[in-house]
Structure 1
Amino acid sequence: MTEPSLRGSRVLIVEDEYFLAQELRRMLVEEGLTVVGPVASVSDALALIDKEPSLDAAVLDINLGGEWSYPVAEKLDRRGIPFLFSTGYNESDLPSCWQHVRRVEKGMDDHLLVASVEDILKIRA
């Protein structure tokens, strides 16, 4: 269960697989978090970040239909918004500048993903 201080936190989901995005949305909403998105492309994610000044965290798929989500990660990083990668890629597959970012494997169990999102939200709190 999400800590009371984190309830209502706004979490952006950037995921191009519809059913995964909806499942992730469901899990976070059940924990009392507010989901922004989900969006399935880099351009949509960048536009949403500009439109939503009060994001608290984000979950990014690395590969969005063949397009890397690193521009989204860069924008979030510049704004001090913590994020994690939800991906099938190994840490060694990532550029060295992103290897320090928390990575949760796709097909993750619900508790691990929610706990990981809560952990990155604590960075911002």
Structure 2
Amino acid sequence: MLVVEDEPLIGMDIEDAIEEMGHEVVGPIAELDEALDIASNAALECAILDINIRGGHAYPVADMLRKRGLPMLLLSSYGEHSLPERLHKEARLPKPFTSAQLEKEIRDLCTRAISCSQ
């Protein structure tokens, strides 16, 4: 599972939650260029993307994941209205979030990912 998050503490919390649920983490990645390269080329099942990261918005990463048919969870402290319309139907978890909310969203994300085991 790709994790794109530029806040170190949030990234570690997400990484810990994913690993505790038995899944492998790619990241956390904090830079847009690196995240786009991984989203384009790595073997991935799904992704969690913070919208605002170093280098800009993660929209190109989300677009690449959509092109590859991979489910994602978008993290943002902004409302849906701040997202491009093409991303309105993607799962979103508003910041700040609780551990329980994050774990539920990870389970839902893995359910949507064909090759992500429970």
Q: Which residue of 2 aligns with 1:91?
A: 80
Q: Secondary structure at the match of 2:96?
A: coil
Query: What is the identity, as a one-letter code, of the residue corresponding to 1:90?
Result: G
Distance 1:77 1:17 in 2: 24
- Residue number among 69, 78, 83 corresponding to 2:67 in the alignment: 78
TM value normalised by structure 1: 0.85
Identity level (%):
33
Count of residues in correspondence between the two structures? 114
Letter of the aligned partner of 2:7 in structure 1? E
**Alpha-carbon offset, residue 66 of structure 1:** 5.8
The answer to which of 71-80 and 98-107 deviates more is 98-107
Q: Using the alignment, how far apart are the partners of 1:74 and 1:66 within structure 2?
A: 16
Gaps in structure 1 of 5+ consecutive residues: 1-10
Q: Structure 2 counterpart of 1:32, which letter?
A: G
Whole-Å separation in 2 of the counterparts to 1:107 and 1:89: 10
The whole-number CA distance in structure 2 between the counterparts of 1:112 and 1:68 is 23
1:121 pairs with 104, 110, 113, which one? Answer: 110
SS at match of 1:16: coil
Residue in 1 that maps onto 2:32? 42
* 1:30 matched to 2:20: yes
2:27 counterpart SS class: strand
Q: TM-score, structure 2 length as denominator?
A: 0.89
Which stretches in structure 2 are left out of the alignment for 5+ residues? none
- In structure 2, how many angstroms separate the alpha carbons of the residues matched to 1:56 and 1:111? 22
What is the one-letter code of the residue matched to 1:47? D
